[in-house]
């Protein structure tokens, strides 16, 4: 019973914005949306998280729809080093529900 | 440059043997997570500690797995007895929770322990 669904893979041209979608249609009011990424053969890396407001940090922006049933992670200017698997996660308290991730390939 | 350290980095063992994985969180971090990653299941949260107390370990098979924090500088994950299906990469992460002043939650991952049970 997946809490999140993501496309399996995506391509993005270097220098362009990468928009990674995530559906979490069964999310509850007290559950957060988190994004992590994992570059091949390395440990995961926290990117950003939010509850209902859009969030931005030095790495990315997180856009959450008003009904909270989906969100989009935006990497504003993708570089080759952003090639990784991106995980969208729903968190309720101490429970983290991971999706299977989107493999993003940034193309030169 | 503070980092989460994990030992051993690689472990090969035979079915039935005890396996102990260690994690040293970043100094000052009071939350520690244990994750497991496999090709089939992806990334799974096994256990979560705050201030050395286990907050949630519902993702961990209780019959053979145990997680502890004997002190603030060491977290351990043990498997006894190990089975081939335990073969995976085990990640430890440490961080700080979201602060009352609005400071953002942080979480930093270690390099992982790659476990192979034959």
DSSP label at A80?
Answer: G
Which tokens hold the place of A103? 């493999």
Chain A residues with beta carbon closer than 8 angstroms to that of B5: none
Substitution target in A49, A94, A100, A101 with the highest count of B β-carbons within 10 Å is A94
Dihedral angle computed from the Cα positions of residues B43, B45, B51 and B54, in that order, rounded to the nearest 10 degrees: -160
CA–CA dist A56, A73 (Å, integer): 10
Residue pLDDT tens, chain A, 108 long = 568 899 999 999 999 999 999 999 888 888 889 999 998 878 888 899 999 889 998 899 999 999 999 999 999 999 999 999 999 998 877 677 777 899 999 999
Residue A49, φ and ψ in degrees, nearest 5:
-150, 160
Laid out side by side, the sheet with A70-75 consists of A18-23, A70-75, A61-64, A55-56
- Contact status, residue B56 vs residue B47, Cβ threshold 8 Å: yes
Chain B residues with beta carbon closer than 8 angstroms to that of A100: 42
């Amino acid at each position: 019973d997946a809490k999140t669904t993501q496309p399996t893979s995506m391509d993005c041209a270097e220098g362009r914005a990468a928009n990674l979608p995530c559906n979490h249609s069964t999310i509850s009011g007290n559950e957060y949306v988190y994004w992590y990424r994992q570059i091949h053969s390395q440990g995961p890396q926290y990117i950003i998280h939010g509850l209902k407001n859009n969030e931005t940090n030095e790495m990315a922006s997180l856009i959450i729809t008003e009904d909270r049933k989906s969100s989009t992670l935006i990497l504003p200017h993708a570089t080759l080093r952003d090639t990784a698997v991106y995980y969208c996660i729903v968190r309720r308290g101490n429970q983290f529900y991971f999706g299977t991730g989107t493999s993003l390939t940034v193309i030169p | 440059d503070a980092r989460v350290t994990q030992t051993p980095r690689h472990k090969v063992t035979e079915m039935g043997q005890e396996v102990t994985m260690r994690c040293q969180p970043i100094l000052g971090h009071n939350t520690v997570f244990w994750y497991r990653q496999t090709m089939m299941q992806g990334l799974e949260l096994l256990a979560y500690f705050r201030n050395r107390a286990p907050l949630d370990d519902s993702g961990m098979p209780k019959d053979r797995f145990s997680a502890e924090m004997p002190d603030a500088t060491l977290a351990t994950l043990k498997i006894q007895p190990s089975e081939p299906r335990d073969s995976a990469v085990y990640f430890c992460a440490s961080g700080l929770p979201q602060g009352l002043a609005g400071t953002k939650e942080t979480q930093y991952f270690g390099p992982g322990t790659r476990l192979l049970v034959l």
